[in-house]
Amino acid sequence: MSEKLKIKGGKALQGTIELRGAKNFVSKAMVASILGNSKSVLENVPAIKDVEVVSKLLMLHGCDVSYNKTKGVLEIDPENISSPKIADVDTVVGSSRIPILFCGPLVHKLGEAFIPALGGCKIGDRPIDFHLESLRKFGAQIEKKEHGIRIFAPDGLHGTKINLPYPSVGATEQTLLTACIADGVTQLTNAAIEPEIMDLINVLQKMGAIISVNTDRVITIEGVKELRGFTHISLPDRAEAASWANAALATGGRVQVLGAKQSDMTTFLNIFRKIGGEFDINDNGIEFYHPGGELKSIPIETDVHPGFLTDWMQPLVVSLTQAHGLSIVHETVYENRFGFTNALNKMGAKIQLYRECLGSVPCRFQQRNFKHSAVISGPTKLRGADIEVPDLRAGFSYLIAALAAEGESNVSGVDIIERGYESFTEKLENLGANIELLK
Ligand code: EPZ
C-alpha cells in the first residue's frame, strides 16, 4: 500500500538522530549465518524491509530467527536448516536482491537452492550474470524455473579463480559466501572492497574462514571444513548518515548523527566540505551543519570504494540545487539513477541529463544511450509539489527537497523509503520537520 507524507517545507532541521547498522551489510551477515554449525548473534540491526525479507527466507529454510527490535539484536540458529516448499519461497518473489546470495550457502548445506525472481531498486537493469558465472566456476549448475532459478552441484563446490568484469559488491559477496567452505582455494580478482564487504569478511573470519585481501583488490579464500556461529556488531549505515547530512545542509540546519563513522565517509566528508557544508567529528558520531554563506557548485563522479559511493549521490544532488553555479555529476555505477531528477525540476530545480560521460574518464555507459551524467544549475528556489517515490535513495532525496522547498509537498510511495531508513518519519519529527502521514 503506497503511503503518502505531507511535508511543509522551509524549516531548518535541528537535533539528533541515531544511526543503526548498515542496510547493505546486515542482510549479508544474516545469510552468512547459514554457513555456521551453531547459533549467530548480530547486533545494531535496523528494523528495515531487507531484514524482514531475509528473516522470512531463513525461517522458510528451517532456521530459527528471533529479532529484538528495541535492542536491535538478531539471533539465528541454522541447526535445523532444510529445503523449503517452493510455493513458500515464491511468496518472497520480487521483494529484494538479497535472496541471490543464498545460493552458495544453501548448495553447501542442502545440495541445492531455489532463488525467487529478485526485487530491489529500479536504478538500472540489475543483472546477476556475474553471480551465476561465479557459481558455475565453483561447479554449480543452474536451471531456469518459472519464478526463479534452481542451483545445485552434483560434485560439490570447489575453489576456483574468478575475475569480475566490474568490482560488483553483490558478486564479491556471492563469491565470499560460496568460497569459505568450498573444497580448495579461491582467488577473486577485481573484487569490491567496500566497508560493508570488509565487515562481512570480519564476520566470516570470526566464523573460522581464512580470507586475505591484497593491495590490488585480489581476495584469496582458503576453503575450510566447517564454520561456527558468530557474534558481531554491524558497522553503521554510511549511506543513511550522508542522507541526513544533506537534509541538514539543504534546509540550513544542524543534525547530529549518532553512530556515524568518519573512516567510512572520508570521501563524502571532503565533498560535503567543498560544497560549503561543515561537520564536527565527536566520540558519539558526526554533527553535520550549514555554516552559513553560499553553497558552491562542484564536479563529482561516483565510483567503487574508496570513491564517492553511488548511494550518496541522489541526496547530494538536492543540496547541489542550492549551490551557486553549475555542478556536474557523472554516475558510473548505475546506468539509470537520474530518473528522479524530473520531480526535482518540477519543484523548480534546473537539472539537465546527458548521455555523455561528463567526468574524468569514460565509463561503461559511454555511447550506450544512458543518460548517466547530470548538470545542475543553482541556486534555484524549490516549491512544494506532489511527487511519487521511484526508489529508495531518490525517495529520501524527495523528502530533503520537500523539506527545503517553500510550501507544501505530498510525497507518495514513502513505504519504499522504509526499506532502508528505519523509523524515518519519527526521526524527521524529532528534527522539527512539519510532516503528516496520510493513510
Ligand atoms: C549493492 O548493490 C548495494 N545494495 C547498492 O545499494 C549499492 O549501490 C551497490 O552495491 C554499489 O555500491 C545492497 O548491498 C543490497 P553491484 P549490488 O553488484 O550488489 C552491475 C542502495 O540504495 N552488475 O556492485 O546490486 C550492476 O548492474 C542500493 O542501498 C552486473 O552487471 O551492486 C551495476 O551496474 C542501491 N552484473 C554494477 O555492476 C552482476 O551480476 C554495480 O552493481 C552484478 C552487478
Q: Read off the pLDDT of residues 66-92 as tens digits, 9 standing for 90 and up.
A: 999 999 999 999 999 999 988 888 777
Whether residue 14 sits in one domain with residue 31: no
CA atoms within a 13 Å half-sphere pointing along the CA-CB vector of 225 = 0
Whether residue 15 sits in one domain with residue 81: no
For position 125, what pLDDT does the model report? 77
Q: 332: how many CB neighbours lie within 10 A of its CB?
A: 24
- CA-closest residue to ligand 1 atom 17: 170
Whether residue 269 sits in one domain with residue 219: no
Partners of 236 in the β-ladder: 21
Looking up residue 433, the CATH number of its domain turns out to be 3.65.10.10
Contact residues of ligand 1, CB 6 A cut-off:
23-24, 97, 121, 124-131, 166, 168-171, 192, 194, 239, 310-311, 333-334, 392-393, 420
Whether residue 242 sits in one domain with residue 209: no
Whether residue 220 sits in one domain with residue 240: no
Whether residue 221 sits in one domain with residue 172: yes
* Full domain range(s) for residue 275: 4-19+236-438
For position 93, what pLDDT does the model report? 64
Whether residue 121 sits in one domain with residue 206: yes
Q: Which of these three, 198, 233, 268, is where a domain ends?
A: 233
Q: Which of these three, 209, 233, 257, is where a domain ends?
A: 233
- CA-closest residue to ligand 1 atom 7: 311
| Stated pTM of the model | 0.97
Whether residue 426 sits in one domain with residue 400: yes
- Asked if 268 contacts 312 with a C-beta cutoff of 8 angstroms, the reply is yes
What is the number of the ligand 1 atom nearest to the C-alpha of 335? 34
- Whether 121 sits among the annotated catalytic residues: the reply is yes
Cα 124 to middle of ligand 1, angstroms: 9
Whether residue 114 sits in one domain with residue 83: yes
Q: Which of these three, 171, 205, 233, is where a domain ends?
A: 233
Domain count within the chain: 2
Whether residue 340 sits in one domain with residue 310: yes
- CA-closest residue to ligand 1 atom 18: 168
Pick from 54, 129, 166 the residue to mutate for probing ligand 1's pocket: most ligand atoms within 8 Å of its CB: 166
What is the number of the ligand 1 atom nearest to the C-alpha of 173? 19
Interacting residues of 36 by C-beta distance below 8 A, sequence separation 6+:
78, 207, 227, 228, 229, 230
Taking only Cα atoms into account, the Rg of the chain, rounded to an integer number of angstroms, comes to: 22
Give the whole-angstrom CA distance, residue 135 versus residue 80.
25
Cα 405 to middle of ligand 1, angstroms: 31
- Asked if 163 contacts 150 with a C-beta cutoff of 8 angstroms, the reply is no
Whether residue 141 sits in one domain with residue 196: yes
- What residue ranges of the chain have pLDDT lower than 50? none
Pick from 122, 333, 336 the residue to mutate for probing ligand 1's pocket: most ligand atoms within 8 Å of its CB: 333
- In tens, the pLDDT along 267-307 reads 999 999 999 999 999 999 999 999 999 999 999 999 999 99
Whether residue 264 sits in one domain with residue 131: no
- Asked if 383 contacts 405 with a C-beta cutoff of 8 angstroms, the reply is yes
- Asked if 223 contacts 185 with a C-beta cutoff of 8 angstroms, the reply is yes
For position 389, what pLDDT does the model report? 94
